[in-house]
Amino acid sequence: MSTESELLVKEYSKNPINNFKMKDATIHQHEGNFICGDDIVVYLKIEDKKIKEYSFDGNCSAITTAGASYLSELIVGKDITDILTWNYQTMLDNWFEVSPRRKRAAVIAILAARNAIHIYLKDGKVDNFDDLIE
């Protein structure tokens, strides 16, 4: 993990953005990580198949908080079908890197967003961590 990534994780964990329960979300989704005990709920407001607003809350580790917070910088304005392809590589491509043991924490918010979109689309799909981490 690079020094830049370490600084990014520290900053977003100490000063998270969009860390609140959205009252008028189109859809929300809870995900848990039994390995470290993280629980997160992601809230999405969807209009015209695009993410208009995003927030999260829950009982999260520092890395999960940082990843979920950082995701808010990436997700707003994006087409929901594009988000269904996002994974850990998406975080890497955007300079958010963690140690191999913490990859689940880095992507749990993406997992929650993808599963919320599946529910919204009523496509019957459910993603898991294996779909996001190679």
Arithmetic mean of pLDDT, 33-44? 90
Amino acid in position 102: R
Domain ranges in the chain? 3-132
Residue 1: name the closest of 105, 134, 87, 92 by CA. Answer: 92
pLDDT in tens, 83-115: 999 999 999 999 899 999 999 999 999 999 999
pLDDT at 78 over 80: yes
Say which CATH architecture domain 3-132 belongs to.
Alpha-Beta Complex (3.90)
The 10 Å Cβ neighbour count of residue 77 is 9
CB 108 within 8 A of CB 133: no
CB 50 within 8 A of CB 84: no
Cα 91 to Cα 118: distance, rounded to the nearest angstrom: 20
- At 2 the pLDDT is 63
Q: pLDDT class for 134, splitting at 50, 70, 90?
A: confident
